[in-house]
């Protein structure tokens, strides 16, 4: 909203959102190509994928800004001990891009606490206090802004707090859909991504295998494991209690 507020001093036309969004998308792609550890083929394919080329580029929405900030965090995390306050500021901004990004920020905060507890080479107390202060401020203010000020329920029409096995399995089946998205090839393909055609039992087994694979893969990197599992659990909880997510989430 702050970006849009600044743009309105240039023009009231919503078309002004498009060049801003192009800058955001192009910067995200540049950061990926410049700093990611992937192969040249993977780097060449990434900008033309459905999410990078369409959801986070063609459609001017808040999610693209969240991805850009998340990439910035990943780049700076390599030297997190020296840049902890800057990481905190980036996560503060990230928490305000979407409710899903807020959940990711919380999971990153948990992982950073884990890292500080189990490492002997810590930043000085001033950097730790400033960094976590910024992260906590971002989380709290983002949660406050999620609550509508009037009778309009806003993002959350109602909370589902009762446990139901069918809904739980349905939410768990989002995992294979996220890892193996297949679009419907027609003119109205937006939000049409579906998982591979299979029975619910097959999808459930596939989801469990994906989680186990990630668990084994990240066992030697406990901080990344804590971040991945807490983020995954947080997003699935959001989908269960509030609303289902689309492929962009």
Question: What does the pLDDT look like over 128-152, one tens digit per residue?
Answer: 899 999 999 999 999 988 876 666 6
What proportions of the chain, in percent to the nearest 5, are helix, strand and coil?
Answer: 65, 0, 35
Residue 129 buriedness (CB in 10 A; 0-12 / 13-18 / 19+):
middle
- 154 and 223 Cβ atoms separated by less than 8 Å: no
Candidates 118, 100, 37, 20; CA nearest to 74 is: 37
Rounded Cα distance, 20 and 29, in Å = 14
pLDDT reading at 242 higher than 70: yes
Percentage of the residues of the chain whose pLDDT score is greater than 90:
43
Higher pLDDT, 185 or 229: 229
Q: Which helix (H) or strand (E) holds 11?
A: none
Query: What pLDDT score was predicted for residue 51?
Result: 87
- Residue 90 is predicted with a pLDDT of 97
- Give the mean model confidence (pLDDT) for residues 71-81: 90
This prediction's pTM: 0.86
Output the average pLDDT for the chain.
Answer: 85
Residue-wise pLDDT tens digits, 177-214: 777 776 667 777 676 665 545 566 777 787 788 888 88
Q: Number of helices and strands (H, E) in the chain?
A: 12, 0
Q: What is the pLDDT of residues 85-137, one digit of tens each?
A: 999 999 999 999 999 999 999 999 999 998 888 877 777 888 889 999 999 99
10 Å CB burial of residue 16 (0-12, 13-18, 19+) is middle
Q: How far apart are CA 154 and CA 147, in angstroms?
A: 8
């Amino acid at each position: 909203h702050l970006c849009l507020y600044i743009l309105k001093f240039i023009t009231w036309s919503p078309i002004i959102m498009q060049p801003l969004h192009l800058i955001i998308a192009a910067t995200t792609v540049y950061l990926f190509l410049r700093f990611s550890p992937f192969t040249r083929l993977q780097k060449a394919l990434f900008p033309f994928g459905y999410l990078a080329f369409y959801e986070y580029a063609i459609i001017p929405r808040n999610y693209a800004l969240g991805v850009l900030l998340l990439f910035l965090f990943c780049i700076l995390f390599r030297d997190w001990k020296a840049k902890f306050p800057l990481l905190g500021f980036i996560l503060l901004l990230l928490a305000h891009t979407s409710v899903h990004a807020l959940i990711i920020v919380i999971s990153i905060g948990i992982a950073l606490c884990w890292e500080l507890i189990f490492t002997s080479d810590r930043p000085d107390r001033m950097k730790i206090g400033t960094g976590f202060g910024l992260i906590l401020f971002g989380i709290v203010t983002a949660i406050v802004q999620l609550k509508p000020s009037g009778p309009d329920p806003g993002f959350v029409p109602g909370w589902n707090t009762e446990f139901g096995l069918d809904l739980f399995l349905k939410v768990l089946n989002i995992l294979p859909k996220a890892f193996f998205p297949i679009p419907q090839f027609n003119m109205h393909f937006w939000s049409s991504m579906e998982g591979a055609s299979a029975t619910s039992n097959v999808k459930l087994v596939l989801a469990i295998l994906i989680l186990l694979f990630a668990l084994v893969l990240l066992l030697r990197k406990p901080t990344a494991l804590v971040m991945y599992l807490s983020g995954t659990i947080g997003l699935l909880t959001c989908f269960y209690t509030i609303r289902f997510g689309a492929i962009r989430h």
